[in-house]
Structure formats: C-alpha cells, structure tokens
Chain A
Amino acid sequence: MRYVSLATFFLVVLAVSILGFRGSISTRPPLELIPDMDHQAKYKPQAESPFFADGRADRPLPAGVVAYGRSSTGGTPDASFLGADDSTYLGKNADGSWVAGFPKSVKVDARFMARGQDRFTIYCAPCHGALGDGNGITKQYGMGATPSYHDDRLRTMAEGEIFNTITNGKGNMLSQADKLAPADRWAVIAYVRALQRAANGTAADVPPSHKAELGLK
C-alpha cells in the first residue's frame, strides 16, 4: 500500500511538473480540449483566408469603388450622402478656395469642442504636443521638426486647408482620414483654434468673472 501511495504521489508531482501552473507565459497556442463549434465556416474581421491568393478575408476595394451611403441616415440621399457636400468633406468652397470658418453642417459648441479636445489628445498630441507647440512625446525619440501651431502661417491658415492637411497629410505627416471622421476633423480644428487663441492670449482675454482666480484686476 505504501508503494501504491508513493507511486500515486509521484505521478501527481510528475503531472504538475509537466503541465505547469495556470497563467504561465507560453508561446504555445491555446489547448483546445473540446473544440465544440469554436471554428466555424465564416470570416471574422481582419481574419485569414486560405481561399484568396493574398491570404486575407477582408477584400481590398476594386478600383473606382464608392462606398455606398455611409453616412446617409435615411432612405433618401442627403447632403452627406456619398460626401456630396464639398465644404464639409473636402474643406473647399464651390469655387475651389479653402473654406474659412466652419461649414454649415457643423455646429461649434462646447460639446463639439470637448469632442475635438478628446480626439486631439488621442491622435494629434503624441507629435504636436498637448499645447500644439510641436513638442509631443515623439520628439524625444527622434521625430523631425513638428511645426508649432502658434506661428502666423498656421494661425492665419484657412480652416479648410487644415481640414485638407488632416485628410491627406502633408510632408512627413500621413493621412489621418481613417482615424478621424470628417465631423471629428472639424472638431479637432475647432480645438486647434482654441489652442492657438490660448497660446496668444493676453490678460484682456480673461473673462471678468475669472480674473480674481488668476490674481488679475
């Protein structure tokens, strides 16, 4: 009996030493004890496909494709249908000049500004810096000169041209169109305008009700 107990104990120790403990880091793919219907004959986003030559299930768009009514809310085409409104979707006026100010489809209010701040912090601040001065964290890691928003060239640049820069990129900056939907781009521009105003503000810009907080008269 003693030998049986010892042998059993030894087997348990052996099993634990082979199988290891829960949660240990391993490069081995997960064990599938009971696969059930874990893998079904369907594609999930960004999945692999052995069927297509390039091995991906997400198919690239054939040339000339226009996305169908992506921002159309109802059955009838509206101004946003297929991005028909140039001022909102390209930042351009009918005569091809850059939109100055904001297009009619956009309402600049506190909520819109907050959205702009939120998006700016995620997508722009790593390079342009939280203040828009071009001193983002990437600068310490070798990012080339990121321009400051606070010079005259960018302070006087039309909103439409900034929109175009976000959409298509410029110089070393690549397009951010896949990250920022058109409405978000306008929100970011609104926030950039706020940063520019703040950087060049004077004591006269402080509302009277807040002057005391800053020790101003």
Chain B
Amino acid sequence: MSKLFPKSINLLPFKLLAYAAVVGGVATAGITYYATPSYANVGYAPVQPVPFSHALHAGQLGMDCRFCHSNVEKSGHANIPTSQTCMNCHNQIKTDSPLLAPVRDSYASGDPVPWVKIHIAPDYVYFNHSVHIARGVSCVSCHGKVNEMDVVHQAKSLTMSFCLDCHRAPEKFIRDPKLVTNLDWKNPEGEKAQIEQGKKFVHNWNVKPPQSCSGCHR
C-alpha cells in the first residue's frame, strides 16, 4: 500500500505554527500602526466653507493668533472668530471676493459661518486652553506650525500619551508666556538650555501638571 501522506507532511505542524506567528506579528504591527489616533486623526484637513489660509494671515502678515482666537487666554475654549473679526479688514480688502461670501452673509445675518472643527477632543476630556497659554505652553506644541499651513490639518496625535509626554516632563516644552504665539520660536540656546530654563519656569510658577485621571477627566 502506498503511503497516504508524503514525508514532508511531518513538518506541516511546525510550518503552520511558524505561519501563525508571522500572521500574529503582522496583525500586531498593523494594529499598532493603524489602530491609533496617530493614523486615524493626524492629517485631517476638512474642506472649510471659506478657504482661509493661516499661512497668509498668521505667516505672511504676521498677525498674532490671538487677533482672531481672542478668548484663548481667558477661556478653556479657543474660539473660532466672529465674522466681525474677519470684517475688520475684509470690509475694505477683497470686498467682492466670492470666496468671502459666506463671511459677508454671516456678518449681515448673524448666522455663524459653518466652520468644520478639526481638533476633536473626546467629550470626556476637559482641556483648558487658557491655563496652558498662561503657563507658556505654545500653540505649536499641540497644533504644529499652523502659520505655514494653507489648509489646516491636525498635526499631532493628541492622544492621552501625547498629553502625558508633556505632563510628565513639562520643562521640555514650557517657555516664556510672551512667546506662546510665536510658532517659529525654538530655544536659541539649544535643547539643554531649554530644559534648564524650563525647570526654572516650572519651579517659579509652581507648575504641577496633573497626572491623575481627574486632572483631565470628570
């Protein structure tokens, strides 16, 4: 009687095990890479009702972030500007531009321009802009170089571990609050000086970023 199975079949269980390990590895790598906000959220650049360019206004014109996001120092919420803020200049500049029609309509009617929110924190996260601005955490730390973006996209993952990276070592990021809206600023004396100066700021201002759950979740 001929053999039902060739001899090579003896190796099959090991081959199957090896293949299972490969599949497991690929699946783990795939989930680690893809199943996180670094993949899901970063790069989100929705189409806005008005193609407002931050690169032009904040970069080329050098307008301060707070000209438009005027409540960021006073409030937990960094506001989208009123249409009146746009009209400060656009009642004289590019008054006929069809691209600005939604702003003019909004100014005339009082209905808001339907801007699309980009950086979406989950509803169980209570992030406060004003405390971060007041203690020298720059806009650029979480939003990236918006002054170079024609269309704003989410630049950082904004995951909880992203928050904790700074909450555990604020001296790496903290700077003179006068410089928070200067998105191009980097400590001119280098990284070592940044940490030294940062430690001083942390000490002098009694900065104690919470790492407990209730610091950010309620």
Contact = CB atoms under 8 A, between A and B. Distances in A.
B123 A44 contact: yes
B123 A38 contact: yes
A110 interface: no
Nearest to B57: A126
Contacts of B70: 123, 178-179
A62 interface: no
A44 B34 CA distance: 29
Nearest to B120: A30
Interface string B58-92: 00011110110010000101011010110111011
Given A122-B66, A174-B88, A141 B77 contact: no
A191 to B, nearest CB: 15
Interface SS of chain A: loop
Main secondary structure of the interface of B (DSSP, over half): loop
A145 to B, nearest CB: 10
A178 B122 contact: no
B199 interface: no
Nearest to B88: A174
A213 interface: no
Contacts of B44: 26-30
Contacts of A193: none
Given A27-B47, A172-B91, A174-B91, A33 B40 contact: yes
Interface stretch (B18-26, B132-140, B166-174, B207-215): B18-26
A202 interface: no
Interface of A: 1, 4, 8, 12, 15, 19, 22-33, 36-40, 42, 44-46, 54, 56, 60, 118, 121-123, 126-127, 137-138, 141-144, 172-175, 178-179
Interface of B: 15, 19, 22-23, 26, 30, 33-35, 37-47, 61-64, 66-67, 70, 75, 77, 79-80, 82, 84-85, 87-89, 91-94, 110-112, 120, 122-124, 151, 153-154, 178
Lowest 7 CB-CB distances: which A-B pairs, in order?
A: A40-B123, A45-B77, A38-B122, A31-B40, A122-B64, A30-B41, A23-B42
Given A8-B19, A36-B122, A137-B62, 18 more contacts: A8-B26, A19-B34, A19-B39, A23-B42, A23-B43, A26-B45, A27-B44, A27-B45, A30-B40, A30-B44, A32-B40, A44-B77, A123-B66, A126-B61, A142-B92, A143-B89, A174-B84, A175-B84
20 contacts: A8-B19, A19-B34, A22-B33, A23-B39, A23-B43, A24-B43, A25-B43, A26-B45, A29-B44, A30-B41, A30-B120, A31-B40, A32-B40, A33-B35, A33-B40, A45-B77, A118-B178, A138-B93, A174-B84, A179-B67
